[in-house]
């Protein structure tokens, strides 16, 4: 029951010098905010508290962006913020005010349609999309989700799908800002004035999306489609999220795996008996 407290005490002891340095940095440097240890997983803190969606600097508005040293930095894509994981040297360069350069990859449009079955959960949606994108092959590409079905996904669903980018191989898994995004900003107590500014700016630059309006759909390098009506209850694992099996197929899949294991063991037994038999001769 006190595991969290004990873990924090150990971390404070191991990293006391680092924490002292970071605390000094937060007081001595501009534009540096340190979130205290024990506040939660950094990606969730960023989603709920830190992300601005639109920056306002010297009366100039521009979209928020993010680079982080963790592969799941992409979680912020669910809030309409472009972000991805980078190496330590790139992160240090950004902290010193240098720009990150990259060759623009192919952008895959993932069109979501249909209606989710009452039997299926958001977890089933996430696992289905992860497996589908893994099969399609999106390594090193940008993925943008669009289509009328996106409106059925909560912000938490979107953030989870974006968080799974390392599992399906894309550089980012991006959800543009829409009414659900704005609702989430209110839910997490962002300032109403700031929210109004975000909405007005993104609409003015045509980055605010109505997923039901097909005329707003961008042009993509390639398009992949998924019908939410095809999503069924499923399980995944035991290690890889894209190893997904429908609940209806679980029994047959288990027997198949068990049968394969039994065949291997039977061959081992036969081989052992053969060796024994030869040894006796």
Closest CA to 80 of 112, 47, 105: 47
170, 132 Cβ separation under 8 angstroms: no
Residue where the block lists tokens 């963790």: 70
**Domain match, 190 and 281 both:** no
**Domain match, 84 and 129 both:** yes
Closest CA to 94 of 106, 102, 103, 86: 86
Residue 79, SS3?
helix
**Domain match, 167 and 253 both:** no
90, 67 Cβ separation under 8 angstroms: yes
Residue-level pLDDT at 234: 81
How many structural domains compose the chain? 3
**Host domain of residue 254:** 247-281
Band (243; pLDDT cuts 50, 70, 90): confident
**Domain match, 180 and 96 both:** yes
Residue 20, SS3?
helix
The tens digit of pLDDT for each residue in 101-131 reads 888 999 999 999 999 988 888 888 988 999 8
Residue-level pLDDT at 44: 95
**Domain match, 161 and 276 both:** no
Residue-level pLDDT at 262: 56
Residue-level pLDDT at 160: 94
The tens digit of pLDDT for each residue in 63-83 reads 999 999 999 999 999 999 999
């Amino acid at each position: 029951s006190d595991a969290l407290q004990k873990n924090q005490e150990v971390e404070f002891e191991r990293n006391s010098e680092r924490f002292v340095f970071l605390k000094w940095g937060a007081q001595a440097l501009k534009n540096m905010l340190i979130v205290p240890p024990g506040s939660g997983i950094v990606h969730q803190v960023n989603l709920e508290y830190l992300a601005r969606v639109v920056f306002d600097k010297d009366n100039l508005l521009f979209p928020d962006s993010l680079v982080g040293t963790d592969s799941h930095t992409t979680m912020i894509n669910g809030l309409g913020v472009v972000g991805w994981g980078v190496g330590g040297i790139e992160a240090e360069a950004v902290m010193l005010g240098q720009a990150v350069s990259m060759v623009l990859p192919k952008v895959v449009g993932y069109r979501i349609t249909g209606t989710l079955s009452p039997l299926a959960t958001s977890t089933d949606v996430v696992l289905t999309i992860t497996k589908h994108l893994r099969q399609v092959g999106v390594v090193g590409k940008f993925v943008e989700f669009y289509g009328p079905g996106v409106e059925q996904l909560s912000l938490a669903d979107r953030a989870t799908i974006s968080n799974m980018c390392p599992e399906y191989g894309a550089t980012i898994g991006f959800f543009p800002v829409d009414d659900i995004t704005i609702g989430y900003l209110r839910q997490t107590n962002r300032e109403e004035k700031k929210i109004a500014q975000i909405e007005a700016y993104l609409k003015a630059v045509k980055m605010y999306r109505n997923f039901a309006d097909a005329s707003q759909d961008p042009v993509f390098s390639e398009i992949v489609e998924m019908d939410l009506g095809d999503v069924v209850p499923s399980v995944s694992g035991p290690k890889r999220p894209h190893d997904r099996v429908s609940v209806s197929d679980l029994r047959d899949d288990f027997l198949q795996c068990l049968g394969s294991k039994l065949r291997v063991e039977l061959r081992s037994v036969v081989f052992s008996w053969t060796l024994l038999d030869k040894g006796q001769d």
